[in-house]
Structure 1
């Protein structure tokens, strides 16, 4: 059990070291802040994608060997949502830590817990050695990932948004979103290399464990990069002005619960697509085709590059037509993609490749403005906690169960179920955008 006073002292030491980087008293530039945001988000998504890829390629055989490959994958995907269920609880607890011990302590504890939970999975024995205790341990560490992720919200994305010029809000809103494709590219590239160079037995015995070890080191680097910015004069000034002060979740829901609800439904189209182009197709390929997962992950790497490009484009487009219009257009395009998805998944190698490349491109165009949609609803007092908690709820509703639902229904009904699932997210996004008039006002 981590003792908060010791964590606070350790955090204070880290913050003091971080301040030495700025000992010349120069103010951090917008580029420094953006870099810190991207590094932080990349580390978070790296942890989650390492686990996600493991769920598709490793955990079915390692933890559920007595079941068919499909059943084992479904069991692995049933554990997958636990992190999203724990994340709002983590936000609730860590907001209290933030108010009492400070943001540096919160980030230190949360990132060490996130990296430690991910790295601990690397030491787990398989079902043949530990039985259901191995499965229970996997579920526990998955809960630890989600609980920790609830505490890594640092307000840097809000800092970017608050300092964005009126005509550059879309551009600044897309910067934190770059962490998703970058984190996926790192995780997928590492797994593709290990899967492609090791024998299947070596990969399942020890090769898969290496990316989970790497996660801890990645989180330490991200922690220092973020503490360096949290310790800057600009961040302290905004705190003094109550721009980024944490509030209680109960106070948030009591005063702006409507904004939480609307904000949670706005990004559902992109969040539903999120795991349907990353985790689900990898499992689909492994279960239903003879295509090598290493080859398919190479295609996904190209998709991640396209996603980075389209995230950047989303910022440029949103500054011209407004975030609300950008999100609506992205949802409509995802809807059209949903209609084509069953044909692409059944279209052989070329169809599978097109599914991934088109899906990643549309994901970037829509996902690139998701953070702006979440934060823009809230008044100054509730922006910090509101953006964090609404994001938790949105991920839970839109992405947590996507791999499990898509794989289950596609087995029962066929790939048409994937398209239907995506369309449900599209309808939620369009409905929320229609209700959310405040976004339309802010875009003017």
Structure 2
């Protein structure tokens, strides 16, 4: 590995590199496991915060709000801060990558990510700190997003580059499995705490445990990823200029239109992402239908169906093409948008159906969203281009979704979440219509 292109970066990375001195090649299976572990840790951190923004922060941080809906909206107002900070993190950590190596970048990013999440566990409430509690929660949320910008490791691109031509869809879906796994773990932890403790004990100390667990998961993820980053195969890809960090403005001078189109292609999937994970829990918590504890277990079952949908997306994309698979997913989301409001507002059984059907459709669309982003770029700029495009896609599609959906639904009626979903589907269909070359990469 070139010391200029990727300088020796950290003691952790050097230790990981020694693990490969036996000249045994790094198998695609090892890369896949490292990718899934890494993505699981990232999504776990974000979902722990997302669930906390419904079950904890409205009462702990925003008790001064006039009512429960207003308190939840205030909590959701901090939710997008991570998505706003993520592109800034990408910019800063790309510089660290170029100058100090990917091992240093990942180590710093995951320590900040885990540290920001774990710090929330120690956060006193408004009754103790006043508005400083709001400020600190906002700071830690910004830290999560900033760090996630540096957690982009290029492993998904390495996996994609090693995929046979007729298995690109299958390899593209593997990193996406981290989302349902991370969500299921977060939901199980919160579900257990909510169902086992009194409300007073849960708000006093029980909610803090999932945030502690996040730091431990990040440590495991860091070593799993460093082991791959330090491998000879990863070094060879770096030497071939396939996975090196490039200056963002240099990349934009070549691929600005690809960044714009790439950000809109997965918009249907990303718009739906928080409308089946975060928003519905807030709706049933505020307006009823079933208890939060019951609903969390339904969402765990939904996450399992989402994982099935992700796996199926790989098979479908390899048979009909990624662009056609994404178009099919956008159409399914558009169809689902007409029934979604009525299901969510029809009591327990309807809410369960909303989650199970919604997660499965999400899996079918989300499974290829990562491949759609990265496939727009030449190998020289793929690492940087895919990172920035992903940041923008999440910001546009998912960052404000809980706030906008709850604000519209509580003010004008639940029917408006259908409009939010179909707007995302229209954006994806329009972007895919303009993006005829997806299947040629």
Per the normalisation by structure 1, the TM-score is 0.97
Deviation at 1:11, TM superposition (A): 5.2
Q: In 2 relative to 1, CA 211–9 (structure 1 residues): closer, same or farther, beyond 3 Å?
A: farther
8 Å contact 2:279–2:406 — kept in the other structure? Answer: yes
Q: Quick one: distance in 1 between partners of 2:284 and 2:362? A: 20
Verify the 8 A CA contact 2:9 2:100 in the aligned structure 1. Answer: no
1:32-431 paired onto structure 2 within 5 Å: 32-67=30-65, 68-289=67-288, 291-431=290-430
Supply the distance in 2 between the matched residues of 1:367 and 1:164 (Cα, whole angstroms).
19
Who is 2:3 aligned against? none
Q: Please tell me whether the aligned partners of residues 113 and 147 of structure 2 are also in contact (alpha carbons under 8 angstroms).
A: yes
| Greater displacement, 288-297 / 314-323 | 288-297
Q: Which digits, 9 at most, give the CA deviation of each residue in 1:380-428, with x for residues without a partner?
A: 1110000000000000000000000000000111111100000000000
Q: Is the 8 A contact 1:116 1:216 kept in 2?
A: yes
- Structure 1 segments (4+ residues) deviating >6 Å: none
Correspondent of 2:19 among 18, 21, 26: 21
Asked if 1 retains the 8 angstrom alpha-carbon contact of 2:160 and 2:171, the reply is: yes
Contact 2:305 2:356 (C-alpha < 8 Å) held by counterparts: yes
Provide the rounded CA distance (Å) in 2 between the counterparts of 1:10 and 1:212. 32
Aligned-partner Cα distance in 1 for 2:352–2:378:
43
Separation of aligned partners in 2, 1:66 and 1:418: 27
Compute the RMSD of aligned alpha carbons. Answer: 1.2
Secondary structure of residue in 1 paired with 2:122: coil
What is the rounded CA distance, in whole Å, between the counterparts of 1:409 and 1:115 in structure 2? 33
Q: Which moved more, 1:395-404 or 1:283-292?
A: 283-292
SS of the residue corresponding to residue 357 of structure 1 reads helix
1:181–1:305 Cα contact (<8 Å) kept: yes
Q: Name structure 2 gaps, 5 residues minimum.
A: 1-5
Give deviations 1:328-370, integer Å, cap 9, x for gaps. 0000000000000111012111100000000000000000000
| Other structure's SS at 1:154 match | coil
Judge conservation of contact 1:11–1:108 (CA < 8 Å) in 2: no
Alignment check: 8 A CA contact 1:43 1:219 kept: yes
Partner residue in 2 for 1:5: none
- 2:9 and 2:101 in contact (8 A); partners too: no
**Partners of 2:8 and 2:14 within 8 A in 1:** no
Give SS of 1:437's match.
coil
In the superposition, the TM-score normalised over structure 2's length comes to 0.97
For structure 1, list consecutive stretches of 5 or more residues without a partner in the other structure.
Answer: 1-7
Task: Check whether the contact 1:341–1:415 (CA below 8 A) recurs between aligned residues.
Answer: no
| Structure-2 change in CA distance of 1:60 and 1:9 (3 Å) | farther
Contact 2:8 / 2:100 at 8 angstroms: preserved in 1?
Answer: no
- Report how far residue 22 of structure 1 moved: 2.7
Q: Which whole-Å deviations, capped at 9, do the CAs of 1:297-342 have from their partners, x for residues lacking one? A: 0000000000111100000000000000000000000000000011
SS at match of 1:399: helix
Q: How far 1:226 moved relative to its partner? A: 0.3
String of CA shifts for 1:81-110, please: whole Å, max 9, x gaps.
000000000000000000000000000000
Match for 2:10 among 12, 18, 28?
Answer: 12
Q: Do the aligned residues in 2 keep the contact of 1:285 with 1:293 (CA within 8 Å)?
A: yes
